[in-house]
């Protein structure tokens, strides 16, 4: 195979790339980005890869979740509530399954969105579509929609400040297990899931007190936690500018995040995204929708992970509730036949999107649950490991997905619809889902 370098993707067809109008400005920005400090460290990336290899063997579980599209207007309370719901889900899963959970956020860099249509017509004017804040802005004017390379630098800066908050909260007492009772937000407390969670929190407090009474000094282990970061590797100018050679190993790492994923729209085996991802050491997620054929999957894995290294590939399936039973068993058998080492994760969000009569993009919680249940069930009957989930969720009390225990109707969506792109589970729905998974993965 031809030699790889951080820019060799430029020799391949690249879908979904911004049409930057000012190429000189782009070059200047990329030069600056190329000299910026890394956002994550090679050692952390290696640890995550090792943990993912454990999850593929059923010894850990991958919980990947966060925003569909982060905005350049992060708020501390929103980051806190997102981490809080991820910590709660982590606890529910860990408590039920008695295995460690790897927490990977869709945050600190999830600024780019692939779109089915390159343009949309607003008030009779054809405008470029919104591709995420790293490219343009959602407001429907030509000025907002024109890609601006300065956004690449802002994406780096916002990623750095969000990551700083995440690292601070992870180590500074926020994630302390002794605080487990305080993780329930007021609006969760009065829900059935909130009460169920309070029972788990009681159990954890008792277990901690017992360990202390036994003289097991576990303070350090229980007072802090680790969150990893991830985003879709979509805008290749940005990803390659943050790719660095590790002098010790002589290998390249994309240090914009710990884990990157390949979107369902950009996974052409001979395309630029696959070319870029094959050369980096980070764990790579591969989104697989209904159009993924067994042959494509083999070509992809042979290209991205030719040595079949454990922990490198997470297959994130997103077929949609009505389609999963038709597609997943065939892919599982292909992987088994070839002996590929992959972690199977389920994204029950992206195949289940619909639009209400009122024009809101939504997902019905019942479909999300149905796809996830089928995923767990199919792996059980195939004798393979269902080792992770990939979710779009928020810690806030939004009304974006219908259904769930609180019974959100399509007519409720207008109450608090906030997302810049796809509908996210709110904290109650996310916790409800965690209890459901916990029941099935023990
Ligand atoms: C996403 O995860 O936000 C996304 C666009 O997913 P997919 O590539 O699976 O459609
Ligand atoms: Co999305």
Give per-residue pLDDT as tens, 410-431: 999 999 999 989 999 999 999 9
What are phi and psi for residue 228, nearest 5 degrees?
Answer: -105, 160
Helix (H) or strand (E) holding 343: strand 343-346
Q: Are the beta carbons of 37 and 242 closer than 8 angstroms? A: no
Atom from ligand 1 closest to the CA of residue 263: 8
Q: Is 282 helix (H, G, I), strand (E, B) or coil?
A: coil
pLDDT in tens, 255-281: 999 999 999 999 999 999 999 999 999
Give yes or no for residue 409 having a pLDDT over 90: yes
Would you place residue 329 in the very low, low, confident or very high pLDDT band (cuts 50, 70, 90)? very high
The pLDDT-based confidence of 1 (bands split at 50, 70, 90) is confident
Question: Of 30-39, 177-186, 201-210, which range is least confident?
Answer: 177-186
CA of 15 to the centre of ligand 1 (A): 14
Please tell me the number of the ligand nearest to residue 318's CA.
1
Answer whether 287 contacts ligand 1 (Cβ < 6 A). yes
Domain boundaries, the chain: 8-175+224-441
| H or E stretch covering 386 | strand 386-392
Are the CB atoms for 233 and 261 separated by under 8 Å?
A: yes
Kindly give the number of the ligand 1 atom that is closest to the alpha carbon of 110: 3
Classify residue 105 as exposed, middle or buried by CB count within 10 Å of its CB (0-12, 13-18, 19+): buried
Is 350 touching ligand 1 by the criterion CB < 6 Å? yes
- In the predicted structure, residue 145 carries a pLDDT above the cut 90: yes
Asked whether the predicted pLDDT for residue 189 surpasses 80, the reply is no
**CATH no. for 8-175+224-441:** 3.20.20.70
Which residue of 133, 230, 232, 317 sits with most ligand 1 atoms within 8 Å of its CB, as the best mutation to test the pocket?
232
Residue 387 has pLDDT above 80, yes or no: yes
Q: Model confidence at 297, in pLDDT bands (50, 70, 90)? A: very high
- How far apart CA 387 and CA 101 sit, in angstroms, is 10
Nearest-angstrom CA–CA distance, 401 and 429: 9
Residue 207, pLDDT above cutoff 90: no
For atom 3 of ligand 1, which residue has the closest CA? 68
Model confidence at 9, pLDDT cuts 50, 70, 90, reads: very high
Taking the CA atoms of the chain, what radius of gyration do you get in angstroms? 21
β-strands 343-346, 386-392 pairing: parallel
Calpha distance 387→74 (Å, rounded): 30
Ramachandran area for residue 148 (φ above 0: left; ψ -120 to 50: alpha; else beta): beta
User: What does the DSSP assignment read for 140-166?
Assistant: SSHHHHS--THHHHHHHHHHHHHHHHH
Query: CB burial class (10 A; 0-12, 13-18, 19+) of residue 124?
Result: exposed
Question: To which residue do tokens 């929609």 refer?
Answer: 145
What is the position in ligand 1's atom list of the atom closest to the CA of 113?
A: 5
The response to whether residue 263 sits with its C-beta less than 6 Å from ligand 1 reads yes
pLDDT at 439: 87
Highest mean pLDDT among 90-99, 165-174, 213-222, 236-245: 236-245
Q: Residue 203 above 80 pLDDT? A: yes
pLDDT at residue 220 tops 80? no
Q: Which residues surround ligand 2, an ion (CB under 5 A)?
A: 68, 422
**Ligand 2: distance of its center to the CA of 159 in Å?**
18
| Residue appearing with tokens 């907002």 | 144
Look at residue 128 in the predicted model and tell me its pLDDT: 96
Locate tokens 């579980």: which residue?
61
pLDDT at residue number 190: 78
Residues β-bridged to residue 390: 64
| Token reading at 282 | 């980070």
């Amino acid at each position: 195979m031809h030699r790889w370098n951080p820019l060799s993707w430029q020799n391949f067809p690249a879908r979904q790339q911004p049409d930057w109008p000012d190429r000189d400005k782009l070059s200047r920005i990329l030069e600056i980005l190329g000299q910026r400090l890394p956002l994550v460290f090679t050692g952390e990336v290696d640890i995550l890869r090792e943990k993912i290899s454990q999850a593929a063997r059923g010894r850990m579980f991958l919980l990947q979740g966060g925003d569909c599209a982060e905005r350049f207007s992060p708020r501390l309370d929103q980051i806190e509530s997102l981490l809080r719901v991820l910590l709660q889900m982590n606890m529910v899963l860990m408590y039920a399954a008695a295995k460690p959970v790897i927490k990977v956020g869709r945050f600190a860099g999830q600024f780019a969105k692939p779109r089915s249509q390159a343009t949309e017509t607003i008030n009779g004017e054809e405008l470029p579509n919104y591709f995420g804040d790293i490219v343009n802005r959602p407001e429907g004017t030509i000025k907002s929609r024109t890609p601006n390379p300065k956004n690449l630098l802002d994406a780096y800066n916002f990623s750095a400040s969000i990551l700083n908050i995440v690292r601070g909260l992870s180590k500074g007492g926020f994630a302390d297990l002794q605080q487990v009772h305080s993780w329930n937000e007021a609006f969760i407390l009065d829900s059935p899931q909130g009460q169920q969670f309070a029972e788990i929190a009681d159990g954890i407090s008792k277990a901690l007190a017992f360990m202390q009474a036994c003289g097991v000094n576990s303070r350090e282990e229980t007072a802090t936690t680790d969150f990893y970061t991830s985003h879709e590797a979509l805008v290749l100018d940005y990803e390659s500018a943050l790719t660095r050679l590790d002098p010790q190993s002589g290998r390249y790492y994309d240090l914009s995040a710990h884990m990157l994923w390949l979107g369902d729209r950009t996974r052409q085996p001979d395309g630029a995204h696959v070319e870029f991802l094959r050369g980096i050491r980070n764990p790579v997620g591969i989104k697989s929708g209904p159009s993924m054929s067994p042959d494509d999957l083999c070509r992809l894995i042979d290209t991205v992970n030719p040595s079949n290294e454990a922990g490198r590939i997470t297959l994130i399936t997103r077929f949609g509730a009505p389609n999963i039973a038709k597609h997943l068993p065939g892919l599982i058998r292909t992987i088994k036949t070839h002996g590929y080492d992959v972690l199977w994760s389920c994204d029950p969000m992206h195949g289940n999107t619909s639009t209400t009569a009122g024009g809101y993009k939504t997902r019905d919680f019942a479909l999300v649950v149905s796809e996830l249940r089928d995923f767990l069930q199919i792996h059980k009957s195939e004798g393979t490991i269902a080792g992770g989930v990939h979710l779009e969720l928020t810690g806030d009390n939004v009304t974006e997905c219908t259904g769930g225990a609180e019974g959100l109707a399509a007519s409720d969506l207008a109450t608090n619809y906030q997302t810049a792109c796809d509908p996210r589970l709110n904290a109650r729905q996310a916790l409800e889902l965690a209890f459901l998974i916990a029941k099935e993965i023990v």
